[in-house]
């Protein structure tokens, strides 16, 4: 949020999406293969409803990119998860683009209008803020490279085992989110900004237990309607190999690098970006 609000980037390629975007799309390979300057604006645990806000903030202060990559999968077509990491908006609650999202995040009247009240009880965040103001310590959360964050973590399948013991995993498809994605595609089409919808890799066992027919039908329909490529990498050659994954739906650094290189080659073959 600080980068979006305070830095002019003018990236050639912008990546939008949830945590699977954050950990899957390595700008290094996009930059190297395509000869561009790319930026990953994925946001963990948040669906397209929040990605659209990030696009609006970026679009307000920067020139149009040569390409927008939108992560499209079974978890994207939702709006906003109330309350998750709401502190990222604390400094920007008066911003005209942020304001409509405050109620969706569950902010109370007092939190919206009394600055110090919203920090109540969060002593760690207070300490970080004081350190920043007094130039004692600049806090950097996580190891990010142009918005991409991934460590070469080892496979942990416990969560996948737990989920699959209960039921099949269902793709999500909220009408408001579908409407917003369609608005986004119309908006970018009107401005002449190319968009590619991309389904990042999944571990094969999760993919085989995923019910997402309705979700994929939406993506296919929108791809045809707006002449937007839909690149499906959900089953790559390494999808059976857990050494490329952290868990069922997140690749580790090894998987991210392999996927990002293949994605960059596929985009290059489309001829969207002129070198």
CATH code (residue 230): 3.40.50.1110
CA-based nearest residue to 3, from 144, 196, 180: 144
Q: Which domain holds residue 83?
A: 2-114+143-270
**Pairing outcome for strands 210-211 and 245-247:** unpaired
pLDDT category, 144, cuts 50, 70, 90? Answer: confident
Q: What is the pLDDT, as a whole number, of residue 225?
A: 97
Q: State how far the Cα of 67 lies from the Cα of 163, in Å rounded to an integer.
A: 36
Question: Do the domain assignments include residue 275?
Answer: no
Any domain includes 129: no
Query: Is residue 103 scored above 90 in pLDDT?
Result: no
Number of residues written out for the chain:
275
What does the pLDDT read at residue 164? 79
Give me Rg for the CA atoms of the chain.
Answer: 19
Question: Has residue 128 been placed in a domain?
Answer: no
Residue 137: the pLDDT is 78
Inform me whether the pLDDT recorded for 141 exceeds 80: no
CA distance 250 to 117: 36
- Residue 260 is assigned to a structural domain of this protein: yes
The tens digit of pLDDT for each residue in 26-60 reads: 999 999 999 999 999 999 888 888 999 999 999 99
| pLDDT confidence of residue 139 | 67
Model pLDDT, residue 129: 84
| Count of domains forming the chain | 1
Is 206 part of any domain?
yes
pLDDT-derived band of residue 68, with 50, 70 and 90 as boundaries? very high
Would 217 be classed as within a structural domain? yes
In a domain, 130, yes or no: no
Which comes out higher in pLDDT, residue 170 or 18?
A: 18
Averaged pLDDT, 192-212: 94
Is 80 exceeded by the pLDDT of residue 163? no
Task: Note if the pTM is more than 0.85.
Answer: yes
């Amino acid at each position: 949020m600080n980068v979006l609000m305070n830095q002019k980037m003018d990236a050639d390629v912008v990546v939008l999406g949830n945590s699977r975007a954050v950990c899957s799309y390595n700008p290094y390979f996009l930059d190297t293969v395509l000869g561009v300057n790319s930026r990953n604006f994925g946001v963990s645990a948040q669906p397209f409803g929040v990605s659209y806000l990030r696009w609006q903030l970026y679009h307000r202060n920067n020139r149009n990119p040569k390409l927008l990559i939108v992560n499209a999968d079974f978890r994207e077509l939702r709006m906003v998860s109330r309350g998750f990491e709401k502190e990222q908006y604390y400094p920007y609650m008066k911003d005209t683009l942020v304001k409509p999202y405050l109620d969706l995040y569950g902010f109370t009247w007092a939190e919206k209008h009394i600055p110090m009240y919203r920090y109540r009880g969060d002593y760690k965040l207070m300490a970080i803020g004081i350190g920043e103001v007094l130039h004692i310590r600049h806090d950097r959360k996580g190891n990010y490279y142009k918005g991409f964050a991934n460590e070469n973590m080892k496979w942990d399948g416990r969560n996948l085992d737990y989920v699959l013991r209960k039921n099949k995993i269902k793709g999500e498809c909220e009408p408001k989110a579908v409407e917003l994605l369609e608005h986004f595609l119309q908006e970018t089409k009107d401005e002449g900004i190319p968009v590619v919808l991309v389904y990042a890799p999944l571990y094969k066992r999760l993919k085989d237990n995923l019910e997402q027919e309705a979700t994929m039908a939406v993506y296919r329909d929108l791809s045809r309607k707006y002449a937007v490529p839909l690149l499906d990498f959900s089953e790559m050659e390494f999808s059976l190999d857990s050494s490329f994954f952290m868990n069922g739906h997140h690749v580790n650094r090894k998987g991210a690098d392999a996927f990002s290189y293949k994605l960059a080659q596929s985009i290059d073959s489309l001829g969207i970006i002129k070198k």
